[in-house]
């Protein structure tokens, strides 16, 4: 689709130039200008859509990274809960912290 847009924009500029050079009528010249303006806007929109596609790809990549990080933290929390029952009043906080550190950073 991108090649079609580029080709259409180029063709629009070429045809507008042909109309301007071959016709002296004001209406045809304004039509040629309109075609040229449309071709220019088509080029602008193509660049914008390409940039937005790159931004979307970057956002999707970041989303995957955050999902992986979240999964890692979820697994670390599960490991802590497995070793230290939440309702036990004698939980050693240092042990829980060590388990969390090991699961988050030493995998």
Domain boundaries, the chain: 2-105
- At residue 107, does pLDDT exceed 60? no
Per-residue model confidence as pLDDT tens digits over 47-95? 999 999 999 999 999 999 999 988 888 887 777 767 766 566 666 666 7
pLDDT surpassing 80 at residue 41: yes
Residue 102 or 90, more confident: 102
End-to-end CA distance of the chain: 45
Distance CA(69)–CA(76), nearest Å, equals 11
């Amino acid at each position: 689709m991108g090649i079609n847009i580029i080709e259409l924009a180029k063709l629009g500029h070429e045809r507008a130039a042909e109309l301007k050079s071959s016709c002296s009528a004001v209406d045809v010249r304004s039509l040629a200008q309109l075609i040229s303006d449309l071709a220019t806007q088509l080029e602008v929109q193509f660049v914008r859509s390409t940039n937005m596609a790159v931004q979307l790809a970057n956002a999707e990549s970041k989303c995957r990274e955050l999902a992986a990080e979240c999964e890692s933290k979820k697994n670390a929390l599960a490991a802590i809960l497995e070793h230290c029952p939440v309702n036990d009043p004698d939980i050693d906080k240092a042990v829980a912290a060590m388990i969390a550190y090991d699961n988050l950073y030493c995998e």
